[in-house]
Amino acid sequence: MDAAGSVALVTGAASGLGRATASRLAAAGAKVVLVDTNAAAGAQLTGEGLGTFVRADVTSEGEAATAVDRAVALGPLRVLVNCAGVGWGARIIDRHDKPHDLGLFRRILDINLVGSFNMLRLAAVAMAAGDPAEGAGQPAEERGVIVNTASIAAFEGQVGQAAYSASKAGIVGLTLTAARDLASRGIRVVSIAPGLFETPMLGLVPEKTREALMGAMASPHRFGDTGEFASLVLEIVRNPYLNGETIRLDAGLRMIPR
């Protein structure tokens, strides 16, 4: 799939992995629709020429549909990248012997997993309604690519990550099924399971913990650059043989319990 001339919709585009991905896709010639709840940051991105901003909550059917409609109005929607997510932590039993807040658990799953699926299902309909991408071969005429963001926490969740790990494991479980469901429509689905990247979320980690985590990496011993995530997204878009897979991007890191 050639990003140039296609429309790409990126959620969580106001910062971190989403912002880097939007920038990379724009540089590759895509018309980018930037989706986020942070309107101020979205306006800044638009001012920088990265694309069209739509303020939308990915968990809302109506707002997500509006974002997809805006994308379709710009041309053939070929790419969806789901980067919107949250990572609040809580133990199943806290220090006061109270159980994990059920509302918090539901909220994290709602944003990370249900929100990703909400965007996926709506974007898939729009992609399927379009013509095959120019140059796509038979019999699998390619109409679109959907990239979801999982996490290595899906495989090695740490203490306090019950909700986050469950939400990201759901993304992993969704990947192959969605790829099989959408294969007849010419739509590929791939997920990336990033390790530790220099994003606002990682800035909350204490320095001592950061050093220990870097030491646990095989190589290189550093946190990932968001541009490296964006580079993999672009390769997934371009490589027609990547499908139904979750790709770890983590410098060989295997998370310790805490």
> What ranges in the chain are assigned the alpha helix state H?
16-27, 39-47, 61-74, 102-109, 115-128, 162-182, 207-215, 226-238
CB contact set of 62 (below 8 Å; sequence gap of 6+)? none
What's the pLDDT tens digit per position in 29-47?
999 999 999 999 999 999 9
> Which residues sit opposite 54 in a β-bridge?
35
Which pLDDT belongs to residue 135?
Answer: 58
Q: Which two tokens stand for residue 245?
A: 């897979």
pLDDT of residue 171 exceeding 90: yes
Cis peptide before 206 (omega within 30 of 0): no
Q: Domain 7-249: give its CATH architecture.
A: 3-Layer(aba) Sandwich (3.40)
Report the percentage of the chain scoring pLDDT > 90: 78
Which pLDDT belongs to residue 138?
Answer: 42
- H-helix or E-strand containing 240? none
pTM for the structure as a whole: 0.93
pLDDT of residue 139 exceeding 50: no
**Residue 203: pLDDT band by 50, 70, 90 thresholds?**
low
Cα–Cα distance measured from residue 134 to residue 159, given in angstroms and rounded to the nearest whole number: 48
**Residue 137: pLDDT band by 50, 70, 90 thresholds?**
very low
Cis peptide before 240 (omega within 30 of 0): no
Residue range 147-169: mean pLDDT, rounded: 95
CB 234 within 8 A of CB 3: yes
Residue range 198-219: mean pLDDT, rounded: 76
CB contact set of 64 (below 8 Å; sequence gap of 6+)? 56, 57, 58, 115, 118, 119, 122
Tally helices (H) and strands (E) across the chain: 8, 7
Most confident of 84-88, 99-103, 252-256: 99-103
Which pLDDT belongs to residue 117?
Answer: 98
Collapsing DSSP states into helix, strand and coil, what is residue 36?
A: strand
CB 189 within 8 A of CB 148: yes
CB 170 within 8 A of CB 155: no
Which pLDDT belongs to residue 141?
Answer: 85
If you ran DSSP here, which 8-state letter would residue 112 be given? I
CB contact set of 123 (below 8 Å; sequence gap of 6+)? 9, 68, 71, 77, 80, 144, 146
CB contact set of 224 (below 8 Å; sequence gap of 6+)? 194, 195, 196, 197, 198, 249, 250, 251
Cα–Cα distance measured from residue 37 to residue 258, given in angstroms and rounded to the nearest whole number: 31
Average pLDDT along the chain? 92
Residue range 81-86: mean pLDDT, rounded: 96
> What ranges in 79-161 are assigned the alpha helix state H?
102-109, 115-128
Q: Of the ranges 60-69, 163-172, 199-208, 223-232, which one carries the lowest mean pLDDT score?
A: 199-208
Residue of 257 and 231 predicted with greater confidence: 231
Encode burial over 92-115: b for 16+ CB neighbours within 10 A, e otherwise.
eeeeeeeeeeeeebebbbbbbbeb
What amino acid positions are annotated as catalytic residues? 164
Residue range 242-248: mean pLDDT, rounded: 98
Which pLDDT belongs to residue 204?
Answer: 62
Which pLDDT belongs to residue 257?
Answer: 79
**Residue 101: pLDDT band by 50, 70, 90 thresholds?**
very high
